Amino acid sequence: MKIFIDTANLNEIRKAKALGLVDGVTTNPTLLAKEGETAETLIRKISKEVKGPVNVEVTGITCEEIVKEAKVLATWGDEIVIKIPINQEGLKAVRILATEGIQTNVTLLFSASQAILAAKAGATYICPFIGRLDDISFNGLELIQQIREIYDNYDEIETRIIVASVRNPIHVIEAARMGAEIVTIPPAILDQMAKHPLTDRGIAQFLEDAKKIGVKK
């Protein structure tokens, strides 16, 4: 399973990179707006920092606008993936960009039917937002299970699942058990994944006992 980091914060990206945990980055306009730089400046910096896909979202509404914008965004780095919200204009744009060899990520995806259409359009990736489904009392992980089952039924589907809107380590564990190719994880959740109270207690105990046997720091 690949881990993408769900942030546009360069320091957080560098921190996760030092741990070997950045196979790619996902951004959206909300994440970019937190950083106080223009989207282009920041995405160019992130692209230099990261070896792997850097996902950038379009803001165009019509197919024509999306395709035009995507072609500009694609020049901001070596491996830019164009995030496109799913609707009919977005799907038309995905098809056109796929034929032109531009990688796409169909985002704001909340149902298995949308996942089928995204795959048929030729999306490189899809981003089902599981946390936002949980927020409104639908089980986001069940959606991942459904999409995995559907995509596995058809050899011709090459679209990869990026589990997004991840809110806790259990989301990551369950997504991995279901065989999602990628999970995009916010930095705070990556921190939580490394922690365990028994690990902390064990380290403290070992350090205490090490003093008794003459081990000095």
Q: Which stretch binds ligand G3P (CB under 6 A): 12-20, 34-42, 125-133, 207-215?
A: 125-133
Whole-number minimum distance, CB 31 to ligand G3P, in Å?
A: 6
Distance between CA atoms of residues 148 and 161, nearest Å: 8
Q: Which of 15, 83, 195, 217 is catalytic?
A: 83
Binder among 2, 17, 120, 132 for ligand G3P (CB under 6 A): 132
Contacts 24+ apart (CB under 8 A), 65-69: 66/90, 66/93, 67/93, 67/96, 67/97
Q: How many positions of this chain bind ligand G3P (CB under 6 A)?
A: 11
* Active-site residue flag, 17: no
Q: By CB under 6 A, is residue 81 in contact with ligand G3P? A: no
Q: By CB under 6 A, is residue 28 in contact with ligand G3P? A: yes
The continuous run of DSSP H or E covering 25 comes out as: strand 24-26
Distance between CA atoms of residues 123 and 53, nearest Å: 14
Q: Which stretch binds ligand G3P (CB under 6 A): 67-75, 84-92, 123-131, 209-217?
A: 123-131
Q: By CB under 6 A, is residue 120 in contact with ligand G3P? A: no
Distance between CA atoms of residues 110 and 108, nearest Å: 6
Q: Where are the alpha helices (DSSP H) in the chain?
A: 10-18, 29-33, 39-49, 63-73, 88-99, 112-121, 130-135, 140-152, 169-178, 187-194, 197-212
Q: Which stretch binds ligand G3P (CB under 6 A): 24-32, 110-118, 173-181, 205-213?
A: 24-32
Whole-number minimum distance, CB 117 to ligand G3P, in Å?
A: 19
Q: By CB under 6 A, is residue 104 in contact with ligand G3P? A: no
Whole-number minimum distance, CB 69 to ligand G3P, in Å?
A: 19
The continuous run of DSSP H or E covering 136 comes out as: none
Q: By CB under 6 A, is residue 129 in contact with ligand G3P? A: yes
66-101 as b/e, with b when 16 or more CB fall inside 10 Å?
bbebbeebbebbeebbbbbbbeebbbbbbbbbeeee
Whole-number minimum distance, CB 96 to ligand G3P, in Å?
A: 24
Q: By CB under 6 A, is residue 184 in contact with ligand G3P? A: yes
Q: Which residues bind ligand G3P (CB under 6 A)?
A: 6, 26, 28, 31, 127, 129, 131-132, 164-165, 184
- The residues carrying an active-site annotation are 83
